[in-house]
Structure 1
Amino acid sequence: MKVVWSPDNASKAYIDTVKSCELYQESGVAELISAMAAGWNSKLIVETWSNGNFTPRSIGLAIAARHTGGRHVCVVPDDRSRSDYMQAMTSVVHSVPTPEILVGEPEEVMSELEGVDFLVVDSRRRDFSRFLRLARLSNRGAVLVCKNAQVKTASSGFKWRGVLDGGKYRVVRTAFLPVGPGLDIAHVAASNGGSAPLMKKKRWIRHVDQISGEEHVIRTT
C-alpha cells in the first residue's frame, strides 16, 4: 500500500480551517497542515502540544480527521498542559471535536500508537526528535512535519535520515517551507512498502558448443 493524494479532501479541509480560524491573524500554517493531513487521507493523526502554543493547528488537524474519518491524538507533557489544552480547544470553536489527549513522555505515549500516518511535532520541544524516532508509522507510509523549524535549524544539526536511521523507514523526499516559523516536512515510506522494485540478481551461464568447442558466457537479466 502507498499514500495516495486526494485533492478533494485537501481543498475541503483547507476551506473549513480558514472559516474556523478566521479570528486568528496567523500565517496560514493551520490551513496548510490541515490540507496536507486530509489530502493524504490520514487515518491516525498525531501532534505534540505544550503550554504557550497556539491552538489553530490543532483545530486544522481535527478538521482534517473529520474529513478522512481518521483518529486525531494530541500528546501533552503533563496534566497541567492537558487542562490548558482542553480549555483552549473548547473555548475557541465548538463545532470542532476535541482530539484524544495522551499525557506522558515519548517512550510512553508512542508505544500506544501504531500506524501513524501524519505526525506533527514542535521543534521547540527538546524531545521532539524522540517522538519522530519512536513513531510506529503506517505500512503505507507517512508524512512527518516539524513546526517552528527555523528554531530547529538554527539550534541543531537535525537531519531526517539521522532520526529515521535503522532501515525500518525510508525517506522519500523532504521539503522546507518558509511558512510562519517554518515547516520541515518529510514523506516517509516503509522500507518493505513495495514502492521500489526489488533488483533481481544477475547470473552468468557458461555454455560450450559441442561441435566447435567454443565457449560462450551469457549474463541473464
Structure 2
Amino acid sequence: MMEWCPEHAMKAYLKTLHLRKNYSDRTSTRGSPEFEEPKIMEFLSALAAGNCAKLIVQITTEGVTPVTLALAVAARQIGGKFVCIIPHDHDDEEDINKSICTHHQLNGCDHLKDVIHIVAGNPCEIIKQFKKIDFMVVDSKVGDHLKLLKTADLNSKGSLMVMTNLFINGQKRASLREILKAKDGVYCKSVTIPVGEGIELTKIVPSNKHGRKRRTRFHVTYEN
C-alpha cells in the first residue's frame, strides 16, 4: 500500500504555488498567458508527492503543460522519476519539436528541466517500458486512452491514476473504475472532482490473499 506523507504533500503544494506565482509575475507584464488550471497543478503535485510516488507518468497531447511542471515539482520533492509521454506520428513532427523546445525554455523553471523526461511515440508501446507505475496522469483526449490504461503496469502494492479533461463537449468520458474493475487481483475506487475540465481520481489497491476486497477509505475535500 502507498503510505501518505503529509510533509511531502505540503512542501510540493507550496513549491507549486510559488512556481505559479513567480511565473505569473514574470509573464503578466509582457502580456503572456498565465498558467492554466492552477487548482489542478497544486492538487496533483501534492497528491503525487504525498503518496511518495517513485515513478510518475504523464500522457498528454498538449506537450509540456502546467500540469507537467507540477508533477516535476512532486518528483523532485520525493526524488522520484517523472516521464512525460507525448503521442507522436509522422504527421505531428512540428508539434513534438515545439513541445521539446518549450521544455528547454521553461520561462524561469529551468531547475525542473532535468526532472522532466520526454518520450515521443506510440503511448501504448512506450508505456510497456515502465514497470510498477505509482502515479499516472492521462489526458482523455489521447487516442486509445482506454487501451493505454489497460496496458500500463501498475505498482502491485498500490497506485493512483488520474484522468484529466473528463468532460468533453458536456459528455463524461468512460470511467477508469469500469475499466480497471475487470482486472483480476485489484480493487479500485474512484471519485470525480470538479476542477478544470473535470478530473477522475482512481485509487487502486491489491486484493488480499484470500481474494476478498481490501477495505479502503477514500476522502477528498474540495473548496471553491
Q: What CA distance in whole angstroms lies between the structure 2 residues aligned with 1:39 and 1:71?
A: 15
1:46 aligns with 2:57: yes
Equivalent AA in structure 2 for residue 167 of structure 1: D
**1:36 alignment counterpart:** 47
Q: CA deviation at 1:55?
A: 1.2
For residue 54 of structure 1, report the CA deviation from its aligned partner.
6.3
Moved more, 90-99 or 61-70: 90-99
Partner SS, residue 136 of structure 1: coil
The TM-score normalised by the length of structure 1 is: 0.79
Output one character per residue of 1:92-147: Cα deviation in whole Å (capped at 9) or x when no partner. Answer: 21121341122222331111010101000001223222221111001211010001
- Pairing 1:65–2:75 present: yes
Amino acid at match of 1:160: L
Structure number with bigger Rg = 1
Report the counterpart of residue 214 of structure 1 in structure 2: none
- Between the aligned partners of 2:2 and 2:211, the Cα distance in structure 1 is 10
Do the aligned residues in 2 keep the contact of 1:145 with 1:186 (CA within 8 Å)? Answer: yes
Q: Deviations over 1:23-73 (max 9, x none)?
A: 23533211111110001000000001224x661100000010001111000
Structure 2 length normalisation: TM-score?
Answer: 0.78
1:194 Cα offset (Å): 8.7
SS, match of residue 167 in structure 2: helix
Unaligned runs of 5+ in 2: 25-33, 215-224
1:91 equivalenced with 2:108 (yes/no):
no
CA distance in 2, matches of 1:60, 1:160: 22
Q: Deviations over 1:61-88 (max 9, x none)?
A: 0010001111000111125444222222
Task: Check 1:25–1:175 CA distance in 2 against 1; reply closer, same or farther (3 A cut).
Answer: same
- For the 8 Å contact 1:170–1:190, the answer to whether it is kept is yes
Give yes or no for contact 1:123–1:152 (8 Å, CA) kept in 2.
Answer: no
Deviations 1:146-170 (A, max 9, x none): 01112297154x1223311221432
- 2:113 pairs with 1:116: no
Q: Is the 8 A contact 1:10 1:38 kept in 2?
A: yes
Segments of 4+ in structure 1 off by > 4 A?
192-198
AA aligned opposite 1:66: R
Of the three residues 143, 158, 177, the one matched with 1:141 is 158
What per-residue deviation string (whole Å, max 9, x for no partner) do you get for residues 168-215 of structure 1? 4321x21111011111100001335899689xxxxxxxxxxxxxxxxx
Aligned length, in residue pairs: 194
Q: In 2 relative to 1, CA 109–25 (structure 1 residues): closer, same or farther, beyond 3 Å?
A: closer
Distance in 1 (alpha carbons) for counterparts of 2:211 and 2:79: 25
Percent of matched pairs sharing the same residue: 28
| 1:185 aligned onto 2:171 | no
Query: 1:194 and 1:36, CA in 2 relative to 1: closer, same or farther beyond 3 A?
Result: farther
